[in-house]
Amino acid sequence: MGLSLLLDLFRRWVLVAPVGLIGLALDYCYEKLLLEGFLRESLVGPGPFFDPSEFPDLQTLQDHHHQILEEVVSLRGSLKMPLLQNVDTTQEWEADGRWETLILKVYNTEIEDNLRRLPTLRRLLEGLGGSVPTAMVSVLRPGGHIRPHFGYYNGVLRYHLGLLVPKAPEPPLRLGIRVGQRYATWRLGQPLMFDDCYEHEVWNQSDGERIVLFLDVVRPLPGIYAVINSMFIFAMRFHPTVLGYKRRAPISHHNAAA
């Protein structure tokens, strides 16, 4: 047996194999202990949709939806909001250049350049603290279709607050969202909550823009599950995708004169 073959066997079974086994073990823990455990132990049920009234702290956002929209409209009058595809270069379900986003915080990493431009919303988010680790303004232009996709972590629930909702005759549902096998649309000043780990898609076949406040809200969990969830959310701020958001999300990055 030659030296090169011995070295190759050493690399495969001593160096590579343990790393692969560790990876498989981590994947198993993630699937069984986190995703399935969170779904089973969720204090608000498995979804896909949830009753927003079970999250009374978020009522303050509904109470101020007019002021939030006024600040968003004013901002868009002077600066161009970035397309998500220019902020998240990893996603493959962009809406044909019709999905604008203003990311304010992601896994509790604040985008200061964006937050300072929406003072009312900033104050409201600060009041909610760590219960809302991610927040952004989402604009879907007419003709936009966010293709079917799903999230990877169900320790948070997705919250949409309708800020600007164009009228769209029904049926068919010309402005809507599908989560799993269920369909919904937005109402002005009213929230939708769902688990984005179910496959979902969004479309706007109306004549106007749809603007929502888009949040991730910590899923209510008991005991050790809540502790694990908090640890995971904290760790996510160091993920390369989140660090990429911090570099690319500031609105001044997309507006030379900002």
Mean per-residue pLDDT, 27-35: 63
Task: Report d(CA 110, CA 112) in Å as an integer.
Answer: 6
Q: Could you read off the pLDDT of 11-22 as tens digits, one per residue?
A: 544 444 444 444
For the entire predicted model, the pTM comes to 0.87
Mean per-residue pLDDT, 91-117: 89
The answer on pLDDT for 98 being more than 70 is yes
The answer on pLDDT for 175 being more than 70 is yes
The answer on pLDDT for 1 being more than 70 is no
| Confidence category of residue 217, pLDDT binned at 50, 70, 90 | very high
Q: What is the pLDDT of residue 27?
A: 57
Q: What is the pLDDT of residue 257?
A: 58
Mean pLDDT, the chain, as a whole number? Answer: 87
Mean per-residue pLDDT, 111-124: 97
The answer on pLDDT for 252 being more than 80 is yes
Class of domain 50-254: mainly beta
Residue boundaries of the structural domains of the chain: 1-41, 50-254
Q: What is the pLDDT of residue 85?
A: 84
The answer on pLDDT for 5 being more than 60 is no
The answer on pLDDT for 163 being more than 70 is yes
Q: Could you read off the pLDDT of 143-162 as tens digits, one per residue?
A: 999 999 988 889 999 999 99
Mean per-residue pLDDT, 125-139: 97
The answer on pLDDT for 184 being more than 70 is yes
Q: What is the pLDDT of residue 8?
A: 54
